[in-house]
Structure 1
Amino acid sequence: MSNELAAARAAGRRQVSPALKGLGQWLRIPSISGDPAHRSDVMAAAEWIAARLARITDNVRIVGSATNPVVLARVRGRHVAGTTVIYGHLDVKPPGPGWSSPPFEPVRRGLRLFARGASDDKGQLMAHVAAVEAWGSVGGPPGDVVLVVDAAEEVGSPGLAATLTGSAGLTGGEISAIVVSDTKMVSAGQPSLTVSQRGMLGLDVRVSTRRPAVHAGRYGGVVADPTLVLASGLLSAARAVTRVRAGGDRAHSARAGAALSVTSCSSGTVPGSIPPAAKATLDVRLPAGVDPAAFLPVITAALRGTSDPRVDVEVACAAISMGLSMRHPADTRAAIDRACRLAFGKRAVEVPSGGSIPAVAMLAHAVGRAPILLGLGPPDDGAHGPDEHIDLADWAKSLDAAVCLLQLLPTRLDVSRGRHSIDLGTRLIHRGPSGPRLQGAVP
């Protein structure tokens, strides 16, 4: 280990306490991107991290996008060619019920810090920010570092691709690596390297009878029951998704295969009456090799295929993103392993992901290389649920790993070696309020 890296790691250890103090401030901001009532909070969270980054570089911008801002910062390195891009997001999901403490009041219990966003993704991103700060305190990182902080990841990152394309002055140059920490460890103290993520369809289904609620005793069996029609469509859609899995999904984990989840479902509210409508929200996950745009008409037909002629079945696509599989060249994988061994005492384990992060595909498309998805969240982190948290001992090790990566990652490109293997499928499609919108073809 070089003297330079040893000094940066020592600075990283000194940075743990002030970084966690700052993280606590950031977690108190309820930056819920999916709720218009919290738009000012999202901007406040963007301004907070921009001010934090301004302490180590004067090249910081808050860039407007389709819905929420993107914070971009460039930290100049000392002597190494190539730029490392670090991506993370500041927006969070609504807290929901079941919390044992207020979700936006960080609480420490033992070695766990509880708050919405503690793991997904403010806490994981803050480890990388603190690593850059540690390098800054010993003269600056070896090479340039660009930080991309998304304020709309939880709603599909609309506008991010355009922001990346239109910010060449900040993100331009020879980008040698992209690091994303927005996934989980496989077990306590065991970091993971995600090598695939699933594609995703978010669907809203509504069955309407074009009539008011009616008496179940007088009209039962006479009029169409929209709830039963919806249930039949859901079962048909589930069978269509199952056939995708049976039709050649080679993923080595069920989490990487096709799956349909009904995340909300509602119909009548008055006992004894047949409701006029029923609706459901579906989350469909597809293997990396399946184009969600091509599967959309298949599942739409399944949802509509068993419908009663007395009802209308509407299927709206609220979100769609491409899955991808990634392979890293040997020198990149060796750098990841070395950083994890130094910090955790063990190499990162390769895992497929059941999640879908549209921003990862956008970054891969924009830069032309596979992002490094280094999972630093606890395996039971509670992301998107109650009592989300980070493990403070592992978080300190994550900061150390991030410090090491900034020196160990390869810094020069060699296109003749076929460095990265990325399977993005045929297109990237972004969330839109009126249905899917093609963003552009992937070469």
Structure 2
Amino acid sequence: MPLPTETLEALERAVDAGVDDVRADLEALVRIPSVSAPAFDQAHVEASASAVADLLRGAGLPQVEVLRMPGGAPAVVAHRPGPDGAPTVLLYAHHDVQPPGEGWTTEPFEPSRRGDRLFGRGAADDKAGVMAHVGALRALAAVFADAWPVGVTVFVEGEEEVGSPSFTAFLDTFGDRLRSDVVVVADSANWKVGIPALTTSLRGLVDLVVRVDVLEHAVHSGVFGGPVLDALTLLARLVATLHDEDGSVAVEGLVRGEAAPLDYSEEMFRAEAGVLDGVRLAGTGTIPDRLWMRPALSVIGIDAPTIAHSSNTIRHTAAAKLSLRLAPGQDPAAAEAALIAHLHAHAPFGARLTVTPGERGEAFLAPHDAPAMRTARAAFARAWGHPPVDMGMGGSIPFIADLLRLAPDATILVTGVEDPDSRAHGADESVHLGELRHVVVAEALLLAALGAGCAS
């Protein structure tokens, strides 16, 4: 990188000197069950925000606030100005986590270490992102002391895992605090352990709930069964229309694209996703095409009696939540309208449908050759000893579009600490501690280089 060798080496030494503290602080954050879903105790989200604020104060940021919109979750905003003429870099992460779910082999909120991995809910998504920022800022403070090289704003939100419902209003109220020249979003993944990545595309998102009604109330399945089909059967028939015979999304009018060539084999995908032997993959095109540049539609929840609470009745109503991921270039409103039209056009046996729209999020496609992107590639190559891969991500980060509306000339760098074995949102979520160290080094180098004007 175009920084003095002694500066590069000093930053790397500073990261290594603090790596045990970064791990210990990550473990402390994981112990706070900061699930932002409304059914969970929101006092833990408050405690998590307070802990993050303390970490940022300790990392040398003099201006730290916990802010929120009415009814929203607490977000932490911290700032340290740079010298005159230096750019301002916004560092984003989130401190809320998914519900623990089932299938854990250890307690989800008691961090445990096995080999090079630290397990726990939020250990990767996204409390490791929080600690990547904290670790990098600590390294800068150790090397530069009061001669801080770059303006830094940190924004750690507390409701990302529930769709950031108050984010737009937050930007309207506090947007001036977040204006920046470069944004680092630490909520994605690397290509694999030992090979870094910059995420250059993200799919958009639409979700909704569709309810099927066939009777005014449930009736005896023996007395009335035959002439009328139960709502679950009709819901299943409706859901079955959403994909064609090869498993591609069958909703008309959705954008489909092609990804840049990348060596991502079916065997690699099957291993990383844990696909069972004999299960045929859906869709057409390359694996990157299907993961990053094509729509994907999943049923992520169904309201129906459990087997343990079932009775011999014809179910009168059933509902499913559908999650539609969108290719870059797709307008979310148009995609939502197309999905709703498809559902109504395929309502089986004249069943009554009620559709309740939910979240919308825009896709993201980054310019590949922005100056800050080049600087980031150099920082990653130095930190890992391997050049980064430019990759897409099938997931969605809808607020990026809102950030770009706030600062349309800003460069967005989507990075992350996860790897294909991290199992974010799943049981036994984990972070590879060696990768966490690489991410902290890369971010410290990036901030120093941007402050030195290396992205100009």
TM-score interval, normalised by the smaller of the two chains: 0.7 to 0.9
Gaps of 5+ in 1: 420-443
Of 233, 248, 260, which aligns to 2:297? 260
- The two structures have a TM-score, normalised by structure 1, of 0.87
Worse overlay, 225-234 or 182-191: 225-234
Describe the SS at the equivalent of 2:242. Answer: helix
Q: What is the distance in 2 between the residues matched to 1:168 and 1:247? A: 32
Q: What is the distance in 2 between the residues matched to 1:363 and 1:157? A: 13
The aligned residue for residue 432 of structure 1 is none
Q: What is the distance in 2 between the residues matched to 1:248 and 1:40? A: 43
Contact 1:82 1:411 in 2 (8 A): no
Cα deviation for residue 83 of structure 1 reads 0.4
Note the alpha carbon deviations across 1:63-91, whole angstroms, 9 max, x for none: 11242121100023356611011001001
The aligned residue for residue 444 of structure 2 is 403
The aligned residue for residue 12 of structure 2 is 9
Q: What is the distance in 2 between the residues matched to 1:248 and 1:132? A: 40
The aligned residue for residue 165 of structure 2 is 158
The residue type paired with residue 32 of structure 2 is I
- The two structures have a TM-score, normalised by structure 2, of 0.85
The aligned residue for residue 424 of structure 1 is none
Q: What is the distance in 2 between the residues matched to 1:169 and 1:324? A: 23
Cα deviation for residue 328 of structure 1 reads 4.0
Q: What is the distance in 2 between the residues matched to 1:246 and 1:201? A: 12
Cα deviation for residue 208 of structure 1 reads 2.0
The residue type paired with residue 196 of structure 2 is P
Cα deviation for residue 57 of structure 1 reads 2.3
Q: What is the distance in 2 between the residues matched to 1:373 and 1:78? A: 25
Cα deviation for residue 156 of structure 1 reads 1.3
Note the alpha carbon deviations across 1:67-126, whole angstroms, 9 max, x for none: 212110002335661101100100100010010100000001111100100110001221
Note the alpha carbon deviations across 1:24-64, whole angstroms, 9 max, x for none: 11111111011343211111100110111122222111111
The residue type paired with residue 445 of structure 2 is C
Check 1:248–1:28 CA distance in 2 against 1; reply closer, same or farther (3 A cut). closer
Q: What is the distance in 2 between the residues matched to 1:238 and 1:319? A: 21
Contact 1:197 1:324 in 2 (8 A): yes
Q: Is 1:316 matched with 2:356? A: yes
The aligned residue for residue 90 of structure 1 is 95
Cα deviation for residue 165 of structure 1 reads 3.8
Cα deviation for residue 308 of structure 1 reads 5.2
The aligned residue for residue 231 of structure 1 is 236
Cα deviation for residue 411 of structure 1 reads 6.8
Contact 2:124 2:431 in 1 (8 A): yes
The aligned residue for residue 332 of structure 2 is 292
Gaps of 5+ in 2: 261-287
Contact 1:204 1:279 in 2 (8 A): yes
Cα deviation for residue 283 of structure 1 reads 1.1
Number of aligned residues? 413
Q: What is the distance in 2 between the residues matched to 1:177 and 1:136? A: 20
Worse overlay, 8-17 or 22-31: 8-17
Contact 2:238 2:348 in 1 (8 A): no
Describe the SS at the equivalent of 1:52. Answer: helix
Q: What is the distance in 1 between the residues matched to 2:21 and 2:451? A: 30
Matches within 5 A, 1:108-187: 108-138=113-143, 139-140=145-146, 141-167=148-174, 170-172=177-179, 175-187=180-192
The residue type paired with residue 342 of structure 1 is R
Q: What is the distance in 1 between the residues matched to 2:90 and 2:348? A: 52
Matches within 5 A, 1:246-257: 248-252=256-260, 253=288, 254-256=290-292, 257=294
Cα deviation for residue 413 of structure 1 reads 11
Cα deviation for residue 244 of structure 1 reads 5.5
Q: Is 1:58 matched with 2:95? A: no
Q: What is the distance in 1 between the residues matched to 2:205 and 2:175? A: 29
Worse overlay, 269-278 or 123-132: 269-278
Check 1:159–1:219 CA distance in 2 against 1; reply closer, same or farther (3 A cut). same
The residue type paired with residue 238 of structure 2 is G
Of 250, 272, 279, which aligns to 1:242? 250
Check 1:301–1:30 CA distance in 2 against 1; reply closer, same or farther (3 A cut). same
Describe the SS at the equivalent of 2:366. Answer: strand
Check 1:242–1:251 CA distance in 2 against 1; reply closer, same or farther (3 A cut). farther
Describe the SS at the equivalent of 2:9. Answer: helix
